[in-house]
């Protein structure tokens, strides 16, 4: 249960300097090739009834790690969607 509370606190928190550095480092790495289906941020947000900025927040906090296209567009895999469902269920269950 402590792990879930820590995860919940991380969702509600603010990015730390180390996390911001990690985000900058990832932007300079070559984009990974997604396996299977991939979805754009707008379609994922619409599917789950959340704002795209919420998905960006979860990425900043390290909860989601979508791959990127060569144009740096976020591409969410089926595994990313499963992780998002876990996050949304935790938020709904824990308030």
Q: What is the pLDDT of residue 9?
A: 59
Q: Mapped to the 3 state alphabet, what secondary structure does 11-65 carry?
A: HHCCCCHHHHHHHHHHHHCCCCCCCCCEECHHHHHHHHCCCHHHHHHHHHCCCCC
Q: What is the pLDDT of residue 41?
A: 98
- Of the two residues 6 and 73, the one the predictor is more confident about is 73
- CATH code: domain 2-94 is 1.10.1660.10
Element holding 67 (H helix, E strand): strand 67-68
- How far apart are alpha carbons 84 and 95 in whole angstroms? 16
| Mean pLDDT of the 12-23 span | 56
Number of C-beta neighbours around residue 69 at 10 A: 14
Q: Are 25 and 34 a contacting pair, CB within 8 Å?
A: no
Give the pLDDT confidence of 58-68 residue by residue, as tens digits.
999 999 999 99
The tokens for 22 are 């990690």
């Amino acid at each position: 249960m402590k792990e879930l509370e820590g995860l919940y606190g991380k969702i509600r928190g603010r990015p730390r300097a180390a996390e911001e550095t990690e985000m900058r480092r990832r932007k300079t790495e070559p984009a990974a090739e997604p396996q299977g289906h991939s979805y754009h941020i707008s379609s994922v947000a619409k599917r789950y009834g959340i704002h795209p900025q919420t998905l960006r927040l979860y990425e900043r906090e390290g909860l989601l790690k979508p791959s990127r296209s060569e144009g740096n567009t976020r591409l969410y895999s089926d595994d990313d969607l499963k992780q998002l469902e876990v996050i949304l269920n935790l938020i709904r269950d824990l308030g």
